[in-house]
Amino acid sequence: QVQLVESGGGSVQAGGSLRLSCAASENIRSYDYMGWFRQAPGKEREGVAVIFTRGGSTYYADSVKGRFTISQDSAKNTVYLEMNSLKPEDTGLYYCAARRGPLYEDNLHDSRRFNYWGQGTQVTVSS
């Protein structure tokens, strides 16, 4: 049974930083893609950052480019999301997700394309 466990969420002031971690129960290279998605109250879940686990290429939502960095540590079966210069609009429940199978670049942001999900970790940014 695939398990993804997020950690590292919390409350910070605008301009602050957080580092999220997603620990997988299996070798992360058994997935083609791993990513971070977020959902704010009353809004749809949106793709934040995705990494191709075998090649290392990455995708970022325009709203986080230059501020967030996704990375992986295969030895620890963990994917990270380093978040800097946080803004109140970054507030939400952040989910880790994984996918097995190819994916067009245009669909990397689409949560419906991902097969496995964690329970989420809350990030709250105050102004």
User: pLDDT tens per residue, the chain (127 residues)?
Assistant: 889 999 999 999 999 999 999 999 999 999 999 999 999 989 999 999 999 999 889 999 999 999 999 999 999 999 999 999 999 999 999 999 999 999 998 999 999 999 999 999 999 999 9
Distances (CA, A) of 63 to 5, 49, 68: 25, 10, 9
What confidence score (pLDDT) does residue 40 get? 95
For residue 113, the model assigns a pLDDT of 96
* CB atoms closer than 10 angstroms to residue 55: 8
Please give the pLDDT value at position 69: 98
**Burial (CB count <10 Å: 0-12, 13-18, 19+), residue 81:** buried
Whether the Cβ atoms of residue 7 and residue 100 lie closer than 8 Å to each other: no
Going by C-alpha positions, the residue among 4, 24, 12, 6 that lies closest to residue 83 is 12
The per-residue pLDDT for 125 is 98
